Chain A
Amino acid sequence: MSSPQVKSNPQSQVKTNPNNPNSTNQTNPNSTQTTQQITWETILKSPRIERQHVDFAINSAEQAPQVPVEFVYNQLVTDARISSPASVAVSGTGGIIGAILVLRHTISLKYFITTKEVLSADEKSPLFLAKYALELLSKKYNDTEVITIELNEFEKIKLLLKQGGVYISGLPYELVVQLSQLAGFGRLWHYSSMQRKFYVF
């Protein structure tokens, strides 16, 4: 696993996102890593994802480590093919790092999926970091469409599945249930920060 190192600015002690001038000095005051050098290694080990992690991860997405992928049903279904993700959910803090890591497994990225709650999140909301990451990602991958999804939008789910795999971590549980009900084997990607691997269902 590669662990690209990115040097922080010793003057500011905070990494900033050159693509996002608004992100300067927006460090979480509770951050414990402002004085540490942020690397992919530290992000993967960090129990809490903060804005500077997101900045770094998106800026160095191309250098992100290749996280292992495990097909959950490989004992049962031997002829399933894993579909590379064409849609990536960016909708909950827990799924953001996986959403960036999974970009290395995409062949043709079509959609960022999110929810209306994320799009309307204010800075105090726990969903704000997802909104922030989504804004950065949609700027960086500007030909990727951002779509929202709500409960019972089955036609939308079909549309997503039609394109290929779907990275689902961070989506509300009820939506994950509906997606997984309709998805075939090898379609759904989940990132486990504990195991540091992707599970494909």
Chain B
Amino acid sequence: MSEQFQPEVKKFKWLLSQGYINPAELAFYSNFYEIQMTTTINFEGNEILTPLFILTKPSKFDRLKKELPQAEIADPYSKKFPLISLISIEKFVNSLVNLKIPYFFFTLFLHESYYNAPPHVHALLYTLLQLANSSNKYVIKYYNIKEEPMPVSSDLQKIVCHFNKMLGDKDNSCDDSDWWKYNLWSKSTNNTAVDRKMIEKIALQYNISPICVHYVLAYNKNPCHLSPFLLLQIKSDLSSSSS
């Protein structure tokens, strides 16, 4: 698009980022001005396409705004999703699964402030991204999110279920009741968050590696080829100890 329409293109990008218009309306104006939403910025050594969501702890917002002056704090309540948005994982997840994010093509960058996030957080993000990208609705490029298996018996499954339904899978009979009551960080309310002492106790009891126990309890996976009897026994021990 010629530079003569830069004010128009800037205006419509701004209106979108502030939530005054939605992507469908932007598409209408794109008929006139061929508005390209994607530009690249350099962030932490990467050339990254915008719109960009930087998943970061709110305590790091100020620091990141200094590092990246174009970045602004996203506010899902007022539908404000700037082209470079700073947002916490929870707010991003809630916005994504409720289809509130006003972009179909965007980038997700997990900031280092979340690098100590437990595997199930990566698992949740990874699963949601796979669902989004296979839905023909979104194209989301992501950075620093590891492929982890999703815990089977977990409140997080309800989030995935809800996203599935929002994406149009109405036949899915999965349970998404109270899906928003998840807690990503507290181990006490999460079945998969088995503490280290419990894993070590079970590992010692059955003379197997703690890693094998961890996979069984956290992800319902059996990479160590434990016998089915032993698997049941381990799960039984866990449920009796937590009840």
**Contact residues of A with B, CB < 8 Å?**
77, 79-81, 83, 154, 158, 161-163, 182-187
- Measured CB to CB, the nearest residue on chain B to A162 is B4
Taking the closest CB of chain A, its distance from the CB of B37, in whole angstroms, is: 16
Q: What 0/1 pattern do residues 7 to 43 of B give for CB contact below 8 A with A?
A: 1111110100000000000000100100000000000
Query: What are 21 sample pairs from A and B whose C-beta atoms fall under 8 A apart?
Result: A77-B11, A77-B14, A79-B10, A80-B7, A80-B10, A81-B7, A83-B7, A158-B5, A161-B5, A182-B29, A183-B11, A184-B5, A184-B6, A184-B7, A184-B9, A184-B11, A184-B12, A185-B7, A185-B11, A185-B14, A187-B7
Give the complex CA separation of A163 and B2 in angstroms.
Answer: 12
CA distance A186 to B5 in the complex (A): 12
Given A154-B32, A158-B32, the answer on whether A183 and B14 have CB atoms closer than 8 Å is no
Assess the B10–A161 pair: CB atoms within 8 A.
no
The total of chain B residues at the interface (CB under 8 A) is: 13
A139 to B38, CA, bound (A): 47
Select from chain B the residue with minimum beta-carbon distance to A158. B32
Q: How far is the CB of B230 from chain A (nearest CB, A)?
A: 64
Besides A79-B10, A184-B9, 4 new A-B residue pairs in contact (Cβ under 8 A), listed by A number: A83-B7, A184-B6, A184-B8, A185-B14
Chain B residues with CB under 8 A of A162? 2, 4-5
Please report the C-alpha to C-alpha distance between residue A163 and residue B8 in the assembled complex, in whole angstroms: 13
The chain B residue with its CB closest to the CB of A165 is B7
When C-beta atoms are compared, the residue in chain A nearest to B7 turns out to be A184
Residues of chain A within 8 A of B4, CB atoms compared: 161-163
- In the bound complex, CA of A81 to CA of B7 (Å): 8
Bound Cα distance from A94 to B233, whole angstroms: 87
CB distance from B219 to the nearest CB of A (A): 48
Shortest C-beta distance, A181 to chain B (Å), equals: 8
Contacts of B14 in A (CB 8 A): 77, 185
Interface centre among B2, B11, B12, B29 (most CB of A within 10 A): B11
